Amino acid sequence: MMMPKLFSLLKNNRKEFTKKQITQDIVAGIIVAIIALPLSIALAIASGVSPEKGLLTAIIGGFIISFLGGSRVQIGGPTGAFVIIIYGIIQKYSFEGLMVATIMAGIILIIFGLVKFGSVIKFIPYSITTGFTAGIAIVLFSTQIKDFLGLGMEEVPTEFFEKWGAYISNISSFQIETIIIGVIALLIIILVPKLHKKIPGALVALVVTTLLVQLMNLPVETIGSRFGEVSASIPMPKIPNISFEMISDLIIPAITIAILAGIESLLSAVVADGMIGKKHNSNIELVAQGVANIASALFGGIPVTGAIARTAANVKNGGRTPIAGIVHSVFLLLIMVLLMPYAKLIPMTTLAAILIVISYNMSEWRAFKDLFKSTKSDVAVLLITFSLTVIFDLVLAIEIGMILAMFLFIKKSSEATNIKKVDYLYDSSEESGDENDSNEDSEKLAGKFDENKKIMVYEINGPLFFGAAHTFMDLMDEIDIEAKVLVIKMKSVLVFDATALNVLKRIKAQCKKHKIKLIFTEVQESPMKLMLKSGFVESVGKWCFFDNLEDGYEKAKALLTEEF
């Protein structure tokens, strides 16, 4: 049923909203908001937009994801996965282009949810998601070197290798004070959670380093020195100027944002399900993600999705209903209104340290390393997706990665199909592990060897589709024109498409040419539906189809008798 989780809980499980649980949800929401504060600011700046836009995304998008979403505990906001694509869109099409792309992505996500693509989108290969996530982590890390070291360079190249070349050329311009503050921030972020898991290290680092810079009057670049005053108000919604040309230019980036948002949000929801022992509604979640992205863009925010780390923090702190996510957004709004003027004091190197840790966590280097123990095709997809993400861009990486993965899947599936000639007419399922059927048919058909080779029996094992058509077509070359009857056993054919049907028609034509009778046995439901719908059964004759191999063989013998 297409009903947001909050509404379904209020309708069917009101007993879950106890005073104790609501209190826990409020506390969890406040804690997650405190965690989200520095992350939202850092991710906004890394994406090439002003700090408040990250908070607007968490406030507007996060509220809608919790209010309309299909998960009990999902926390929405800006995430590291979008940083590179957002930065690229802004550089090429300006912020207004990003607004258009985000709105388009939101519409695509709503369509995905309404047509129930929630389960389909999860089928994107693990090697691709690991590859582009690790690639994004490397690229995100590379964007923070200038701020972390305080390099005296005006512009940073967008291309990966050019960027590192520029860093190396300007390495002598580093600021020792900036590096010290950055290292202090990095150590705090890493060590604080080890001392107390519920204290957000990023927030502690932000407060401590800001105080150090201000009290010691250190010459360290801050948000204020780069961006000036930071807005503390929620702007009125604004519809961007949209043209057909802009839609055409941004359709691929929009699809990429939609797919990324879908993957990350559903992955986050699945992780949360495992933590709380409940189940989310993936289609409702996609619809909510779509609405959230449209609203975020209209209010001047950036793309939003479910954030795995913040969702996990919500669960660990007792959040069990969407109230926690709503409180998270409301509390962030209060922080923005009351404290945003002080955000200009935050050192840029501290934000760089936060993003470096995010990059490390995103990289999932253990999963990356473990994939090298998988098949060669998985490793190839992993490395190509990773390399294209780093060297070129995420859009190209996903496109090529998906195409390569599909071709490799088709290749694997086609290799699973084989057609073999059966000299002794027994059910060869013994070889495939179906011992009961095998023994039964072996007893029935033992000794029925066709000494005169007038009856040919072929057994097809595996899916028959366009990828395996070449295997099926090989059967045509093996047909003995001296034979009188061709029996094709299709018990193991569960997948069957138009290409396979076309090859069957060609085999039928060749049999007709050489006056060979054609018999089919044990045709499964899916292939039979297509054969009936296409008129193939009628053209061959319903009498040519038999439920088991024994009956088909008996008919073949009868046809030989009629022939002579």
One domain, residues 469 and 342: no
26 with 131, same domain: the answer is yes
Say what the pTM is.
0.76
Task: Give percent of the chain with pLDDT exceeding 90.
Answer: 61
Range of lowest pLDDT (303-307, 362-366, 447-451): 447-451
Per the domain annotation, does 463 fall within a domain? yes
Task: Return the pLDDT at 563.
Answer: 60
Last residue of a domain, one of 294, 313, 346: 346
Q: How confident is the model at residue 450 (pLDDT cuts 50, 70, 90)?
A: low
The listed range with the strongest mean pLDDT (111-125, 289-303, 409-423, 511-525) is: 289-303
Same domain, 243 and 120: yes
How many domains in the chain? 2
Tell me the sheet residues that pair with 461: 418, 492
pLDDT at residue 442 in the model: 42
Residues 334 and 436 in one domain: no
pLDDT at 207 over 90: yes
Mean pLDDT value across residues 294-312: 95
Q: Specify whether 276 is located in the same domain as 152.
A: yes
Count other Cβ atoms within 10 Å, centred on residue 54.
Answer: 26
Q: Could you tell me if 313 and 435 lie in one domain? A: no
Mean pLDDT of 462-480: 72
Are 342 and 427 in the same domain?
Answer: no
How many Å from the N-terminal Cα to the C-terminal Cα in the chain?
64
**Same structural domain, 441 and 520:** yes
What is the SS3 string spanning 178-211?
HHHHHHHHHHHHHHHHHHCCCCCHHHHHHHHHHH
Q: Give the model's confidence band at 292: pLDDT under 50 very low, under 70 low, under 90 confident, else very high.
A: very high
- pLDDT of 457: 87
Does residue 80 lie within any of the structural domains? yes
Please give the pLDDT value at position 427. 43
pLDDT of residue 439: 45
Mean pLDDT to the nearest integer, 166-195: 95
- Number of residues written out for the chain: 564
The answer on pLDDT for 447 being more than 50 is: no
Q: How confident is the model at residue 196 (pLDDT cuts 50, 70, 90)?
A: confident
Q: How far apart are CA 116 and CA 109, in angstroms?
A: 10
Q: Return the number of other C-beta atoms located less than 10 Å from residue 178's C-beta.
A: 24
% of the chain surpassing 70 pLDDT: 92
pLDDT at 161 over 80: yes
CATH number of the domain residue 467 falls in: 3.30.750.24
> Is 77 a domain residue?
yes
Where is average pLDDT lowest: 81-95, 193-207, 322-336, 393-407? 393-407
- The average confidence (pLDDT) of the chain is 88
Q: How much is the pLDDT for 441?
A: 46
Which element (helix H / strand E) includes 262?
helix 244-276
* Residue 366: CB atoms within 10 Å: 8
> Helix/strand/coil (H, E, C) string of 125-175?
CHHHHHHHHHHHHHHHHHCCHHHHHCCCCCCCCCCHHHHHHHHHHCHHHCC
Which has the closest alpha carbon to 310: 108, 71, 129? 71
CA distances from 25 to 61, 412, 428 (A): 19, 48, 60
> Residue 444 pLDDT more than 60?
no
- Residue 424 inside a domain? The answer is yes
User: Which region among 50-59, 290-299, 394-403, 524-533 has the lowest average model confidence (pLDDT)?
Assistant: 394-403
* 45-63: average pLDDT: 95
What's the rounded Cα separation, in Å, for the pair 313 and 333? Answer: 19
Query: Is 455 within the bounds of a domain?
Result: yes
Per-residue tokens: 188: 């705090």
21-40 pLDDT, tens digit per residue, is 999 999 999 999 999 999 99
Q: Which of 315, 346, 377 is at the close of a domain?
A: 346
**What distance in Å separates the CA atoms of residue 159 and residue 16, rounded to the nearest whole number?**
51
pLDDT value at residue 31 = 93
d(CA 519, CA 540): 9
**Predicted pLDDT at 12:** 83
pLDDT of residue 535: 94
Res. 431 pLDDT band, cuts 50 70 90: very low
Q: Give pLDDT, residue 14.
A: 77
Residues 153 and 148: their CA atoms lie apart, in Å, by 13
What pLDDT was estimated at residue 406?
80
Same-domain check for residues 130 and 251: yes
At residue 69, the pLDDT reads 96
Is 412 among the domain residues?
no
Q: Pick from 331, 346, 361: which residue ends a domain? A: 346
Report yes or no: 556 and 432 within 8 Å, Cβ to Cβ. Answer: no
Residues 246 and 129 in one domain: yes
The answer to whether position 384 is within a domain reads no
Of 233, 231, 211, the C-alpha closest to 345 is 211
Q: Which of 241-245, 364-368, 443-447, 460-464 has the lowest mean pLDDT?
A: 443-447
Segment 81-107 mean pLDDT: 94
pLDDT score for 158: 83
The pLDDT, as a whole number, for residue 312 is 92
Bridge partner residues of 492 (DSSP): 461
Query: How far apart (Å, rounded) are the C-alpha atoms in residues 233 and 499?
Result: 60
Which residues have CB under 8 Å from 323's CB, separation 6+?
A: 6, 17, 22, 25, 26, 29, 66
Q: Which domain does 557 fall in, by range?
A: 417-563
pLDDT score of 443: 44
Q: Mean pLDDT: which of 60-74, 151-165, 185-199, 377-391 is highest?
A: 60-74
pLDDT of residue 313: 92
Which one has a higher pLDDT value, 461 or 56? 56
Please indicate, yes or no, whether residues 280 and 142 belong to a single structural domain of this protein: yes
Residue that wins the pLDDT comparison between 481 and 317 = 317
Confidence band of 340 (pLDDT split at 50, 70, 90): confident
- Judge if 341 and 431 occupy the same domain: no
Instruction: Determine the pLDDT at residue 446.
Output: 46
Average pLDDT value for residue range 155-159? 86
